[in-house]
Structure 1
Amino acid sequence: MGVLKKLKIKTQIMIAVACVLAVMLLIIYSLYEQTSRIVIRNNSQYTEELVRKFKLGMSQKVDEVGQIMLNLGFDPFLQQYLTQVNPGLLYEMSKELDRKIISLKAGRQGIEDIVLIGARGTKYSLNGGIEYVRGLESEIVDSDGVYVSGLQKFSYSGTLQNVMVFAQNVYSDGTDGSADKRIGYIAVIANVETMFFASDTPQSELGAGFYLIDRNGRTFPGTHASDIARNVDALARMSGEQPAVKDSIGGIKGSVQLHPLPAIRSSLLSFIPEEALLAELNKVRTQSVFIVLFALILMALPFAMIINNIVHPIQVLVKFINSMKSGGAIRETKNDLTLEGNLEMKVVAEKLNGMLNELNSLARKLVETTTHLLEAEIEKEKAASAYLRSQINPHFLYNTLESIKGVALELGADRVVEMTKALGKLFHYSIKGPGWVTLDRELAAVQSYVFLQSIRFEDRFEVSYELDEEALKAPVMKMILQPLVENAIFHGLEPKTTPGRLLISARVMDDVLVLAVVDDGVGVEAEKLAGIRRQLAERTPPLGRGGQEPDAPPEGLERGGREPAAPIEGLGVLNVHNRLRLAYGEDGGLVFDSEAGRGTRIVLHIPLHAAQTGGDIDVQSASRR
């Protein structure tokens, strides 16, 4: 043990791993030899017995269907029915035919319908499957012997079922002088699930699974289709009398084999889970447990040395680091770390002690500096948000008061009262209450504003709203929509010589509130639109030096020496954009689209989560209203 303490961690681990590998390889090899022989033997016997039972049950069902068609094909009454053309006689004969077919069908599971179709157009069906069988008529007529279709879908009594069609041509018995003349065919529609996968088949035995695959590659049951197709392809590439693969179906591992079913021109995929194959391995598993326990006892000594020489020093180091963490970022360095057990841990202890002593003074300075910077940044963003909001209200009040004065001079006091009430509500909303509200409250203020402007412009425009119920309860910053509506009215609809339309919509998509203000006004020229988008895309601080507006670069030039961009018509659009950026960062903001002569569309994207640093107040207070 003393020698190991002087070795490197890598050397000690390599010695321990070598010991573990040697013991585990011995265990694995022993178990592999025993389990391989048992699994191979049990798989062959178990699968062969189950498949034999399944094929026997299927063969019996196919023989029953063949017997039904044979009895009907040689029945003189049925042959007379197929060649009859008199409608009256056909009607009378169909009653007798019903009794015959019902008698044949009685007690036989899985037969959904029996269809008779004569060469002269005579038709009969017990459960309405004539048109369904008609789709296979060309194949039936050209077949020799019994025709078997692939898996099909058949709707009976409103239920879509998986079926196979068995059919056989009927020839005259020669009583009318036309021996061996084809006079029609008989078709039996068989429910695959009821006929071949009934509860008395091996399918019900523990762990066994069977899948019927027709000649077209369709599978029943239809579950795990991708797993079935993968296994069929793998088996098709293998050679041998009965090849098997070890794969999974529906997430369960097991042995898969493919067996031909010539009677119905299909194949049977058998699936036996590993649990069923390894049912006799309990004795081997018990022996394996004892072997592993004995190996662990032998390996206890080397592991004890590893714990003492490697794990213990590491635990001491972790405990030392946790004590530093619980005591704060700054640590008194009176007690140095001591580690023993290997060379590397001693070096780590020495270097860590020296580094911690040096970092103590730097950590204090960093914490103090960071605290001051964060406090200054928060105060700056609060001042910027307050400034941006203050730019909106006086501008709006001035325009509204001018409108009220003009209406008062022209129409008298009644309408002035209405406008004053609306203005009072809007003014009260803008200066009272929290900085975050639900969208329905914000829309109520916008509606008051639109009412005032509709009086001023004498119904020169109409407003419509498209609002989702979920969006109305979403929290938004106060006065976020009014500046955009004002921009649409004064810069889009007012210059327009014909009546205009204004649309305000709101919906929630992927946890993001999408607000849109759309007008069909005069729009914006392409060059001016490019300048507006450039201003919105710039990551300028919300306030310049000395409280200057952010869209006024010093000395009339933008950063980088470019020509000054065209200012956005109406300060409110840029203010709204900057407020969203302050609250949400890159996730917030607005998109400005316009086309000269066709109108303008402004879309806001507001993430539905708590406001980021720089927002007005906590969004949760608005959500509880």
Structure 2
Amino acid sequence: MLASLKSMKLKKQLLLLILISILFMFILEVFYYFAISTIIQSRSEKYADNLLTQLVERIETSNQNVKKATELLSFNKYTQLFLDSDEAAMKQTYSEILAGITPYFVQSNEQVSNIILVDMDGIKSSDHRYPTTLLDHIEVQYALYDKTRNTHAFTDIVKDPVTDTYYYGYVQSVYWSQENTNPFDKIGTCIVQLSTEKLDSFLHGLNMTKGTKFLILDASNRIVSSNDGSFKTGAKVSDQLISLVNSPSKQSRFRESGVSNLLQAKTINETNWKVVSMIPTHEISDDLKPVRVTGMVLVLLFLLLSVFFGAVFNRNITRPITTLIRFLNRIELHKPTQRLQTNERNEFGELYVHINMMLDEIDKMTHEVINTQSSLYEMKLAKKQAELSALISQINPHFMYNTLDCIKGIGYAYNAKEIVLVTESLSNILRYSIKGAEVVYVREELACVRNYLSIISTRFGNRFEFEWEIDEPIESLRMTKFILQPVVENAIYHGLEPKLEKGYLKIRGYMQEKRLFFEITDNGIGIEEGKFEALVEQLSQGAALGLPGSDNRGIGLLNINDRIRHLHGPGFGLHIQSVSNQGTTVLITLPILSD
């Protein structure tokens, strides 16, 4: 396939590129549409789940309030006296007292419409009329007059045939808790009559899509409340919906009246009721219609632009290439004087210009080759001269060795120990300096410094005191040659020599964190504040430039710092601390080099 693509005409390749771009744009549009659809549906499901959770929490909170109020009323002294009394007159008295108490319990919860007290003989007390159907349902379902039956439960909904409204209740057995010989005997039942209107207000306060339906089902799968008029209170839902609501799956699909819905359900604790949401799936994707239309318009626009610019690119690319091919086929290699003529101002125009320049360079190089041949003999002579100079440079150090040995011999002859010591130290330094290797052992570098300090001690006598503090393990390590001696020389000539008092120089060497450190500390005249700041700035910038004024003591340090950074990187080099008239410390940081 790649071979056939390479052999394809450029015009066809451009057309293929346009078609692939259009196809890619279409696929990308489809992908983003379905990706956004999935995201919106997922968020809608999560939002509906949150709404159901909030609704369940509100209903459970309301139920808890009812239970607490019922429990308080059940333990009320007059409630228990009413239920336990056998005398009609006393019951009437207690009933009148309770008539002044129960309204507070009713008003404390909007769902409570009535409170009914029933003793074990079936005598009832209530401030308002109550639906007999509710009481009949409770008597059958919960065996009110069975002393062994302890009931704390919410009932299913029951229709009041008189008002054509639905109620449900909370039933709690009442036990004697006053002082008595038989405490904790069941003496009756407290029934709280609850209205479904409060539940209706819960559902109507929910905000989802326009067609979203919310239902509350009791334990018998009858509708307790709904925000949609098509679901009537008290009606039993379809078997299919019951099966989906009771399934372990949190979400399922449900078709109702020809409309596909996303169904979710949650259970209300203690009542075993269900809260159900049904979201029409087409409403979830309604918001994507503008996106889909916009995407199709963009694809069509991209198609038109691709065709237009494809035609333009085909004309502006293939025509200049055809012209170039014809020129290359026409040009004669033995007469490279022809040149391309074009009015193009784009890259092809630049290409034509560079081809003409290349042809001009070919003519120029032809003449240069001829001239080069004539000067080849002169180049060979220059090479021989350079080789001769290299041999002479190798002879000069031997001459210096011989001269120093001669001076040393004279010193021995005249018993001049200072001359012998100086020439021997200088000879060692010279031999070390011209040593071919750039990497040496630390002990070799320290030996060079000791030779140098030997010369200084001979010259200045006891004017300077030197102290060495070198960790023995580092002497067998490797380092770059000729780093320490220039720093020591700088400390003596620019720090200690101008000082009138006795000078002190300390050389410390140690290894830390796989790095070599050398500290050269003197108690000389230090560096003036302004020059010190300039020196520190130049060290940080790695610039070996002269400092302002006539004092050039920093140039050598800058050169050493640049050399170290050039060889080992910016993490290594010199760091200086100096106080005027007190002294200077130079810290040298080096890597540990391998053999």
Same fold (TM over 0.5): no
Q: TM-score, normalised by structure 2?
A: 0.41
Q: RCO (CA 8 Å, sep 6+): is it higher in 1 or 2?
A: 1
Q: TM-score, normalised by structure 1?
A: 0.39
Larger radius of gyration: 2
